[in-house]
Amino acid sequence: MSLERLGEIDLAAEGGSLAFLSFFSRRLTDASTMRLVCWTFIVVHASTALVEVYAVARGAAAAAVWANVALRVLVVVLFVHYGIRNSGTRGAAS
């Protein structure tokens, strides 16, 4: 198995794990637990955006990657706003 293929499998497993966390955290009511889930998604999306910026610097197809970076930055901003700062989010920021 090639290293590239192994990386694709790793990303698929990561995506599935995050989907699992997202799906089953929808009923959480504990504020500190919700903040932890939000911080987890913030870290994942921010670190992936940094890796994508690094990929562009190393010569990756810039247009598609920059669009994905912009989307990830937006997702981070939304998680910070609604999941960490907004006190009206199911008690997440209480």
Q: Does pLDDT of 5 surpass 70?
A: no
Rounded to the nearest angstrom, the gap between the alpha carbon of residue 40 and the centroid of all alpha carbons in its chain is: 7
User: What would the DSSP string read from start to end of 1-33?
Assistant: --HHHHHHHHHHHHHHHHHHHHHHTTT---HHH
Burial 27-38 (b: 16+ CB within 10 A, else e): eeeeeeebbebb
> Domain boundaries in the chain?
29-85
**Which pLDDT band, with edges at 50, 70 and 90, does 8 fall under?**
low
In this prediction, residue 94 carries a pLDDT of 44
- Of the chain, the percentage scoring pLDDT greater than 70 comes to 81
In this prediction, residue 90 carries a pLDDT of 52
Rounded to the nearest 5 percent, the helix, strand and coil shares of the chain are: 80, 0, 20
pLDDT tens figures, 54-65: 888 888 778 888
The answer for residues whose C-beta is within 8 angstroms of residue 42's C-beta and 6 or more apart is 76, 79, 80, 83, 84
